[in-house]
Structure 1
Amino acid sequence: MIRISLFVSIICTAILLNACQHKKAPTLKQDAVVLADVIVASQQAISNIVEANGTVVSNESVQLHPEASGRITYLNVPEGAVVRQGTVIARINDADLQAQLAKSKVQLDLAIKTEARLKKLLAINGINQSDYDSALNQLQSIQTDIAYYQALIDKTVVKAPFTGTVGLRLVSIGAYVTPTDVIASIQQLNTLKIDFTLPEAYAPLVRKGNRVTIAMDIADSARQSAVIIAVEPQANTITRNLKVRASLQNTKVNPGSFAKVYVDAGANKHAIMVPTNVLIPNDQRNQVVVIKGGKAKFISVETGVRQASNVEITNGINPGDTVVVTGVLFAKPDAPLKVRSVKKLSDLK
């Protein structure tokens, strides 16, 4: 009985295996149609505003360094106050130079008298020409020494180079300073400048005298108008950007603050806009999927102005083309695509 049961089991197993081998596997539909939402490309007017990040720069700004080394004997740094041009900010100990200057002045007085006396004697042939020349040379040498010592004394005085606001005091009276030490900074704040960069393609928009709009990085700041005063003639060799400087009047902002710069590139009345998410990044340029003859076509495009959720297509798409906005990830080149619905650009924001 055991042998008969084993034989029956083997026969059943063989029958099942044979049935499995002859059962046809289900075939996948190779040409399954993908449903997609689309928009019809059309021309519309857009305002082309180029945005750039800028930095506020004071009209004039310097760090005050002493030109001579020594001990500070006088210090006048009214922190945060406006000082006039030429105001003495600090004095360095110049006692040794003053003594040398006084000595030279005494020698100068004697040299002047000697030169005048020998000049009279020379006129009546009382002395040789060489004796007079020696006295005249001595006089001129002393005069040169006086000018030299006076120049050294002038270097011990630190003055405000222009009218401006003084920053924080960084030294104290009695401190020994060298030309590398900073006493304080001074900045001219009646007129501010905005430095920003733009791609070189926008060079025609940033001519000297053109106006740009500035928005400061504060919540309640209103936009202000600034005038372009200079453009760096050479573009940055790495970023290919141009550095631009604009003048901003009648504003109270700290130098170094962030500013948003808006450059008006003019309105484009024939722009083709599509949602940003329809773009398929590529190594060289972006692509979009359009439907032609019921099939998906991958078209390389060039982009222009970017908005919050849309982007301008400057090349690659023509008005009337059907652009896929949903189902892009499932589309394959020349594969069937079926339009599920036609959207408007305003519906996709």
Structure 2
Amino acid sequence: MRSLLVYLLAIVALGVGAWFAFPDWFGRGDGDATLSSQPRSSIAPVVVAHVVRAPFAERLEALGTVIANESVDITPNRADHVTAIHFEDGQRVERDQVLFEMNTAEERAELAAAVANLEDAERNLKRATDLHAEELVSDSEFDAAKTAVAAAEARVEALKATIADREVRAPFDGVLGLRHISVGAYVQPATLVTTLDDLSVVKLDFTIPETWLPAVRSGMAILARSDAWPNDEFRGRVETLDTRLDPSTRSVVVRAEMPNPDTKLRPGMLLKVAVDRGEEPVLQIPEAAVVPVGSEQFVWSIGEGDVAHRVEVELGRRRPGRVEVRGGLEQGQRVVVEGIVRVRDGEAVAVVATREVEGD
């Protein structure tokens, strides 16, 4: 037991001696002191953008409803049976094109009788004219013959108009909706046969607050989007404003007009409308440069020697991807937009790229 203790003490003594004799073996040499004094972090790479002064329009967003340029319900002129239909669902038609016909048998029979009566009246007038020239009939008899012809002509024209009314025609160029009747159906003036819409151009109604009345005017451009066509932008112009405001909301209806060549926009669709007003140049930076801390906002400004400085800023209006600067920065200054996490106040950074702010 005693010999084992002596053996262990000898091993410890050898270790202590080696620790003092060969310090480099244990990482205590001068070389280690030099390494520990070197910085372990490298310079942060960043992307910057300049503070620019550019137009910054204030945007109003609203919801609008699409309305056809022209729209009408196609209904019969009287109660009767349908004898012919000349259109299909969704068909494009031209003005005065016959859409359907109603029973005209009775009117055509009356027209035939009226034509015969007119021919008889014309023959009587011819005889009366000859006799009147020879003074064989009185003036009153001659006038009566002329009146009979005029009355017969009026009757014929009236019956022709009645028959024409039994042919229901398209009042304007457009696209028909669904057909709601069949041949032989008994219809009345209130019966909906189909619809007709002019979709080459559509109208868009939306409301704006009264505070925007001075800014919105006829001819102003608008931008609209639809959930049905999320990748499309629909552009148009303000056509007119309603003459009256809604007293409960203090808003006014604006009607815009938009071309619709591919008929993607249909009556009744809901669109998200954007209207811009004011394009005064203001200072602005990319939204990515802003770092919020509680109720404060700051950015990393890059000064001389590419040294970063934390700067508190006062911000204004926002638009997608950019924000108005009302205080704290000047035009031409550089701010960090990428690599913000590694930036430290008073430390130099490595500017690897510059991004421009996109204005209106």
Identity of aligned residues (%): 31
The two structures have a TM-score, normalised by structure 2, of 0.60
CA RMSD of aligned residues (A): 3.0
* C-alpha distance in structure 1 between counterparts of 2:229 and 2:140, whole Å: 82
In structure 1, the partner of 2:191 is: 181
**Counterpart selection for 1:194 from 204, 214, 219:** 204
In structure 1, the partner of 2:151 is: 141
1:243-264 per-residue CA deviation (whole Å, 9 max, x = no partner) reads: 2221111352222110111111
**Counterpart selection for 2:92 from 82, 94, 101:** 82
Distance change in 2, residues 1:210/1:307 (3 Å): closer
* C-alpha distance in structure 2 between counterparts of 1:255 and 1:59, whole Å: 9
Q: Which residues of structure 1 form unaligned runs of 5+?
A: 1-44, 279-303, 313-318, 321-349
In structure 2, the partner of 1:253 is: 265
In structure 2, the partner of 1:150 is: 160
The one-letter code matched in structure 2 to 1:140 is A
In structure 1, the partner of 2:180 is: 170
* Deviation (angstroms), 1:268: 6.2
The SS at the match of 1:222 is strand
* Deviation (angstroms), 1:241: 2.5
Q: Which residues of structure 2 form unaligned runs of 5+?
A: 1-54, 284-291, 296-315, 329-360
1:141-185 per-residue CA deviation (whole Å, 9 max, x = no partner) reads: 111111221221121111122222111111111000011001111
In structure 2, the partner of 1:72 is: 82
* C-alpha distance in structure 1 between counterparts of 2:279 and 2:59, whole Å: 9
* Deviation (angstroms), 1:267: 4.3
Tell me if structure 2 keeps the 8 A contact 1:214–1:261: yes
The SS at the match of 2:230 is coil
* C-alpha distance in structure 2 between counterparts of 1:189 and 1:259, whole Å: 16
Distance change in 2, residues 1:305/1:149 (3 Å): farther
The SS at the match of 1:223 is strand
Paired residues, what number?
240
Tell me if structure 1 keeps the 8 A contact 2:64–2:273: yes
Distance change in 2, residues 1:126/1:236 (3 Å): farther
Distance change in 2, residues 1:225/1:137 (3 Å): same
Tell me if structure 2 keeps the 8 A contact 1:200–1:240: yes
The SS at the match of 1:204 is coil
The SS at the match of 1:108 is helix
**Counterpart selection for 1:50 from 45, 60, 81:** 60
Tell me if structure 2 keeps the 8 A contact 1:77–1:184: no
Tell me if structure 1 keeps the 8 A contact 2:107–2:159: yes
* C-alpha distance in structure 1 between counterparts of 2:318 and 2:104, whole Å: 64
1:256-290 per-residue CA deviation (whole Å, 9 max, x = no partner) reads: 1101111112146789xxx9xx9xxxxxxxxxxxx
In structure 2, the partner of 1:205 is: 215
* C-alpha distance in structure 1 between counterparts of 2:251 and 2:123, whole Å: 68
The two structures have a TM-score, normalised by structure 1, of 0.62
Tell me if structure 1 keeps the 8 A contact 2:69–2:198: yes
* C-alpha distance in structure 1 between counterparts of 2:160 and 2:229, whole Å: 54
Distance change in 2, residues 1:205/1:123 (3 Å): farther
1:287-310 per-residue CA deviation (whole Å, 9 max, x = no partner) reads: xxxxxxxxxxxxxxxxx98999xx
The SS at the match of 1:104 is helix
* C-alpha distance in structure 2 between counterparts of 1:212 and 1:64, whole Å: 33
In structure 1, the partner of 2:72 is: 62
Distance change in 2, residues 1:115/1:238 (3 Å): farther
In structure 1, the partner of 2:101 is: 91
* Deviation (angstroms), 1:187: 1.4
